[in-house]
Chain A
Amino acid sequence: MLEIRNLNVAYKATTVLQDISITLEPRQITALIGCNGSGKSTMLKAIAGLLPMSGQIRLAGQVLTQETAHQNITYMPQETSATSSLTVLEVVLLGRLGSLGMIVPKQLVNEAYQALDEFGLSSLHARTLDAISGGQRQLVYLAQAMFRNPHVLLLDEPTAALDLRHQLLVLETMQRFAVETNGVVVVAMHDLTLAAQFSDQMIGLNNGFVQACGIPEHVMTSDNLREMYKIEAEVNRTMLGHLQVTPLSATH
């Protein structure tokens, strides 16, 4: 269980996150939604111990320090273009930076290769990062994140650059991770329909505040979406029972 108490983050004089207290259960996927600049990425980075913040974060009852946060929590940033000619396998290997010495053990290489294979990427192992597509890169980064064997997985818009099949691959991996490893998953997403479909809990951020928190039905309402995104939207259930958001217009 990951407990966040009174999390505050400020850049210089600007408050980015204000007094956030939430509890994240293992085996559950929490979707973080909110408009651009609402603080989603900041919140993920703060939990991962990558930003100066105040407040307390406890994992399984233990207060996290920056060091234990690095050991237990893996944060995957948004997809960016790559200029690096590191090979795909090297990128995955770097996930276990602490275990890499002047000689890389065979076992570790095999495990990294297997992590790639989980995503059907093992044939790309020798390609360089700048020579594969943005979608493939995103999967490579996800393979790296899984290779770290984290207890908590924080994903920042992992589906943004991907086609539908790859989006599902990422989201299913995330689900499998949560169930198989008893892990905590927090995922920031812009696709609300997909977010509702794959999450057990949703947190709606609005200007650094928690606008709404709870099961998707309670968070994804027309009222909340109007507050958070400044849009008029219709929220329906599909025939299979999934929540579906239809954006109608931007309010002024």
Chain B
Amino acid sequence: MTDTAVAHPSGAPNYQALMARRLTWLFGGVVLLVISSIADILIGPAFLNVGDVVMALFSPDSAAPMVRIIVHDIRLPMTLMAVLVGMSLGVAGVHMQTILNNPLASPYTLGFSAAAGFGAAIAILTGITLPFLPIMTVPVAAFLMSSFAAFLVYGFARMRAMSPEVMVLAGIATLFLFQSLQSMVQYLASPEVLQAIVFWLFGSLLKASWTNVPIVAGIFVICILALLPNIWQLTALRLGDERAAAIGVNVRNLRAKVFIIVALLTAGAVAFVGTIGFIGLVAPHIARILVGEDQRILLPMAAITGALTMTLASILSKIITPGGVIPIGIVTAVIGVPFLFTLIIYGHRRHW
């Protein structure tokens, strides 16, 4: 080692090695996601053989019409929806935890999904339909109610300088409010309607279609584009409010903006598939353990771990009962918990 090397230590190679390691995790995640997505398309209650499915995917015209319809109009939208909802909830979760400075936060902490459930339940109970798009009635009701809950929490938080404590408190109050309203609707509903409401609340990918997949994708893309300019500021926020402010972050405005984005991501995801729990809590932690807190990597990694958990849960939901599909919302935790526990036990890095 030369004298100059001692006087001017070079950090770049070390840093590049660290970033390379993180990018490897990210790349590995993408590969796993592609594999699990393909597996998800191949597996289903119709027991199609692999060759037929592949043919239906790549040359739809030469496939049997029934196979084509199953693969193209049922399985493909379901898989895409699983990926999109997983990505949305993963990203929403990681930023909810960042802005609330709370490892237990998730997109559900603040009552957005309980409100979506209430909106859906009201729409199912009353049976009202939208004039031109009757099929969109329940998602629109869920989306609107979820946005209303977000607006409520936002209003309270804004009055108190967007303090995380007030946000959590107002959010949990909102959560309980909408849960009890939801229960009230369920209590008042007839058995058939109750069944429809409960099915919605379980969360299911069976509602995925070529109409709603692009909407969820659109919301996701818009939200990500809106987050990108603030990516380093979000990283800085993990130093604590005071230190972030001291290096030039407008903490209050950042928190308000990201809150709105998280609300939108969550509302978009749950409106079409119902309440799918746990992904938004666990995916960010898995991502953080693997790649650290630099949001340039953490954001895509949280999206990928969310999507991976969703697709694996989707596969599981199809193989538990041969010939049937269990609502995915029921099995997400079954996939997520062992994953997280393994990382906590074997991970060397402290996290949160």
Contact = CB atoms under 8 A, between A and B. Distances in A.
Residue of A83, A84, A91 with highest tally of chain B CB at under 10 A? A84
Contact of A128 (B11, B246, B248, B349): B349
Interface residues of B, number: 34
Contact of A84 (B8, B232, B246, B293): B293
Nearest to B19: A104
Given A97-B236, A109-B12, A86 B246 contact: no
A86 B236 CA distance: 9
A27 interface: no
Contacts of B232: 94, 97, 100
B182 to A, nearest CB: 33
A210 B240 CA distance: 30
A42 interface: no
Interface residues of A, number: 42
B324 to A, nearest CB: 42
Nearest to A76: B246
A221 interface: no
Contact of B246 (A50, A87, A112): A50
A90 interface: yes
A113 interface: yes
Contact of A85 (B9, B12, B15, B349): B349
Contacts of B72: none
Contact of B350 (A50, A76, A130): A130
A134 interface: no
A244 B10 CA distance: 43
A41 B128 CA distance: 59
Nearest to A116: B11
A110 B10 contact: yes
B350 A131 contact: yes
B48 interface: no
| Chain B, interface SS category | loop
B248 A75 contact: no
B9 A117 contact: yes
A104 B12 CA distance: 10
Contacts of B248: 70, 97-98
B245 interface: yes
A126 B249 CA distance: 24
Contacts of A114: 8-9, 11
Given A100-B232, A106-B12, A48 B293 contact: no
A89 B235 contact: no
Contacts of A84: 238-240, 293
A131 B231 CA distance: 24
Interface in A26-58: 48, 50
A77 B288 CA distance: 26
A104 B16 CA distance: 10
29 contacts: A50-B245, A50-B246, A70-B248, A77-B240, A77-B242, A77-B243, A77-B246, A82-B240, A83-B103, A84-B240, A84-B293, A85-B288, A85-B352, A86-B238, A86-B294, A90-B293, A94-B232, A97-B249, A110-B8, A110-B12, A113-B9, A113-B12, A114-B9, A114-B11, A125-B11, A128-B349, A128-B350, A130-B350, A131-B350
Interface of A: 48, 50, 70, 74-77, 80, 82-87, 89-91, 94-95, 97-98, 100, 102, 104, 106, 109-110, 112-114, 116-117, 122, 125-126, 128-131, 141, 144, 148
